[in-house]
A and B are shown apart, each in its own frame.
Chain A
């Protein structure tokens, strides 16, 4: 039981003004004041006897009290710890993965080309008596070229009338490794020519086709047989006849080329996005729109 009377009411008034009374004490005091209304003025005076801080008074030497924080400079921590730059880093990682995939795909294309060459080279060669010289019908040969998608080169015509080569004359070509590959291709045309020769009714053709784009054949590797009658092909001519191209063509279909174009376009867009994001972030840092804390 809280007893408030004339001997202690001021203490309760002070504690009430300071907010230090509990609920029971407050109720008891308010009841006492209600019973003694002439004390309300005194309660108001105690309430007014409180100081209010002057906010205009400030301490002006705060900078002297502050300590230097360890500096963390450099763009790397800024990039790694910035929320915006996290996305840029992720985008850059994705771009690297895409580029790596593109390079891998490109290499795979070259490997496929090489495998194809090896398969051609590993096929058993068919040595036919007339395999050294291939006489085909140009129309048939052209058709075969179109169907097989291989690259062949038409070499200058060896016309017997112009060069005095008899129909039985042949240019024996030594079976070097390079030539063996060409022989394989020759077989195909030989067959075609044989199949069509009867229809053509003429074994003597005016054009000779030779496999190209397989390997470079050096003129020194070409050996002219002594059976050549009254005609020798100058080494320079042979060099001109043999295609110097060694370049292997990647075996990519249209779908792969289309995919590569899409990848290239997306990588370019991604790099532009990353660059613009970094530029905007640096501008904001320079303009102090973004504060970086570590």
Chain B
């Protein structure tokens, strides 16, 4: 991968990587650091990583960086957003954004890889270094929780 291909990847993937990390961490500052770190590592490994594999490589690094950050800060979001009250007429997107914060970090990352980037279970397993069955279980639990959250909000409204 040369400079030109690398720059094209920056233009194409930086926004998507930033959205993924930012939504996972809930912090744009942390997401900024992780995105920079991801592309820095890609640049260092440019001789080994081809442009076709670069996207998977970037999201793998981002996933690991997010897990490491979770562990370092030992920051676990509460099961429900604190002080959040569902206003009437709120959109589904807003509800889902809030519901996403109620699930564990691992499942959240998998949901984002699936919904934001459209990876298959097999590809997610490759990126996260999990088994297919683990991915299936994590995503099943996450979806069920999101669904229950939507149902509860509908009940409130």
Interface set of A (CB-CB < 8 Å, partner B): 10-11, 14-15, 17-18, 20, 42, 45-46, 48-54, 57-59, 61-62, 64-70
- CB-CB nearest in chain B for A10: B144
- Docked pose: A67 CA to B3 CA in angstroms: 6
| A–B complex contacts, Cβ < 8 Å, 17 sampled | A17-B143, A20-B120, A42-B147, A49-B96, A49-B99, A50-B115, A52-B93, A53-B16, A54-B19, A57-B22, A58-B15, A58-B18, A59-B32, A62-B10, A67-B6, A67-B7, A70-B3
Query: Chain B residues near A52 (CB, 8 Å)?
Result: 93, 115
Query: Chain B residues near A48 (CB, 8 Å)?
Result: 92, 147, 150
Partner of A51, one of B15, B100, B120, B136: B100
User: Is the CB of B35 closer than 8 A to any CB of chain A?
Assistant: yes
Query: Chain B residues near A10 (CB, 8 Å)?
Result: 140, 144
Query: Chain B residues near A20 (CB, 8 Å)?
Result: 120-121
**Smallest CB separation, A58 vs chain B (Å):** 5
A62-B11, A65-B14 are known contacts. Are A51 and B111 too (CB-CB below 8 A)? yes
**Smallest CB separation, B114 vs chain A (Å):** 6
A10-B144, A68-B3 are known contacts. Are A53 and B19 too (CB-CB below 8 A)? yes
Q: Are A18 and B18 in contact (CB under 8 A)?
A: no
Query: Chain B residues near A66 (CB, 8 Å)?
Result: 6-7, 10-11
The 5 closest A-B pairs by CB, nearest first: A59-B18, A49-B146, A51-B115, A59-B14, A69-B3
User: Is the CB of B70 closer than 8 A to any CB of chain A?
Assistant: no
Besides A53-B16, A57-B19, 6 more A-B contacts (Cβ < 8 Å) are A18-B114, A48-B147, A48-B150, A53-B115, A57-B22, A65-B10
A59-B14, A65-B14 are known contacts. Are A45 and B151 too (CB-CB below 8 A)? yes
Q: Are B7 and A69 in contact (CB under 8 A)?
A: yes
- Docked pose: A61 CA to B116 CA in angstroms: 21
- Docked pose: A66 CA to B42 CA in angstroms: 12
- CB-CB nearest in chain B for A17: B143
Query: Chain A residues near B144 (CB, 8 Å)?
Result: 10, 14
Q: For chain B residues 98-142, which have a beta carbon within 8 Å of chain A?
A: 99-100, 111-112, 114-116, 120-121, 136, 139-140
- Docked pose: A99 CA to B55 CA in angstroms: 57
Query: Chain A residues near B99 (CB, 8 Å)?
Result: 49
Query: Chain B residues near A65 (CB, 8 Å)?
Result: 10, 14, 35-36, 39
Query: Chain A residues near B116 (CB, 8 Å)?
Result: 51, 53
- Docked pose: A268 CA to B99 CA in angstroms: 77
- Docked pose: A107 CA to B33 CA in angstroms: 76
Query: Chain B residues near A42 (CB, 8 Å)?
Result: 147
- Docked pose: A62 CA to B35 CA in angstroms: 10
- Docked pose: A52 CA to B3 CA in angstroms: 32
A20-B121, A49-B143 are known contacts. Are A59 and B15 too (CB-CB below 8 A)? yes
User: Is the CB of B73 closer than 8 A to any CB of chain A?
Assistant: no
Query: Chain B residues near A46 (CB, 8 Å)?
Result: 143, 147
A53-B19, A57-B15, A58-B18 are known contacts. Are A14 and B143 too (CB-CB below 8 A)? yes
- Docked pose: A68 CA to B4 CA in angstroms: 9
A53-B16, A69-B4 are known contacts. Are A61 and B36 too (CB-CB below 8 A)? yes
User: Is the CB of B17 closer than 8 A to any CB of chain A?
Assistant: yes
**Smallest CB separation, B105 vs chain A (Å):** 15
